[in-house]
C-alpha cells in the first residue's frame, strides 16, 4: 500500500502474512479480499474467475518462499466451475510442499552454479596475476 503497510486485501498476500490457506468459493461474492484486478482481467479476456485456493509454499526451515494459487475448480460431471472441496484443499497443501521442495532445489542449484562460476573466475584472475 502507499503507506508501506502490507496489502492484506489480496488473497495471496493474506496467505503469506498469516501463513494460512485461503479458500474463496466465489471471488465476485467475496467481501474479504480485493478482486478488482481479477474482475478487470475477466472483462478483458471474457474469462470468469470464480473459485480460488491459495496456499503458502514453505521451504525446509518453514520460511514462506512463494504461493500456490489454483483458480476455478471444475465439476467433472457438469463441466462447470465450482468451489474447491476440503479434499482438494488437502491435496493442494500437499502439492505445495512438493512445489516448495522443487523451488528450493532449483534455487540451491542456481546458487551452486554461481559459486562454481565465481571460483573459476577467481582462479583465472589468480593465474593471470601470477603469469605475465
pTM exceeds 0.85, yes or no? no
| Residue span of the structural domain in which 115 resides | 11-130
- Give the whole-angstrom CA distance, residue 107 versus residue 2: 31
Task: Name the pLDDT band for 132 (thresholds 50, 70, 90).
Answer: low
Q: Does a structural domain hold residue 4?
A: no
Give me the pLDDT at residue 130, please. Answer: 80
Q: Does a structural domain hold residue 2?
A: no
Which residue reads 502490507 in cell numbers? Answer: 6
Contacts of residues 66-71 at CB distance under 8 Å and 24 or more positions apart, as own/partner, are: 66/99, 66/100, 66/103, 67/12, 67/15, 67/16, 68/92, 68/95, 68/96, 68/99, 69/11, 69/12
Model confidence at 2: pLDDT above 80: no
DSSP 26-75: -TTT-SSS--HHHHHHHHHH------EEEEEEE-TTS-EEEEEEEE-EEE
- Give the whole-angstrom CA distance, residue 60 versus residue 54: 19
Q: Does a structural domain hold residue 106?
A: yes
Q: Does a structural domain hold residue 6?
A: no
Q: pLDDT for 54-99, tens place per residue?
A: 999 999 899 999 999 999 999 999 999 999 999 999 999 999 988 9
- Give the whole-angstrom CA distance, residue 93 versus residue 56: 8
Give me the pLDDT at residue 1, please. Answer: 64
- Give the whole-angstrom CA distance, residue 37 versus residue 15: 17
Give me the pLDDT at residue 90, please. Answer: 95
CATH of residue 110: 3.30.450.40
Q: pLDDT for 10-64, tens place per residue?
A: 999 999 999 999 999 999 999 999 999 999 999 999 999 999 999 999 998 999 9
> How many structural domains are present in the chain?
1
User: Within 10 A of 7 (CB to CB), how many other CB atoms are there?
Assistant: 12
Amino acid at each position: 500500500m502507499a503507506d508501506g503497510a502490507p496489502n492484506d486485501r489480496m488473497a495471496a498476500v493474506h496467505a503469506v502474512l498469516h501463513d494460512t490457506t485461503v479458500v474463496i468459493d466465489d471471488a465476485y461474492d467475496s467481501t474479504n479480499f480485493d478482486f478488482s484486478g481479477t474482475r478487470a482481467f475477466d472483462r478483458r479476456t471474457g474469462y470468469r474467475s470464480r473459485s480460488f485456493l491459495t496456499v503458502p509454499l514453505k521451504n525446509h526451515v518453514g520460511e514462506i518462499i512463494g504461493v500456490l494459487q489454483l483458480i476455478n475448480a471444475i465439476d467433472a460431471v457438469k463441466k462447470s466451475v465450482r468451489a474447491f472441496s476440503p479434499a482438494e484443499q488437502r491435496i493442494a497443501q500437499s502439492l505445495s510442499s512438493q512445489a516448495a521442495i522443487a523451488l528450493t532445489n532449483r534455487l540451491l542449484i542456481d546458487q551452486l552454479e554461481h559459486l562454481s562460476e565465481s571460483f573459476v573466475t577467481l582462479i583465472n584472475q589468480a593465474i593471470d596475476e601470477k603469469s605475465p
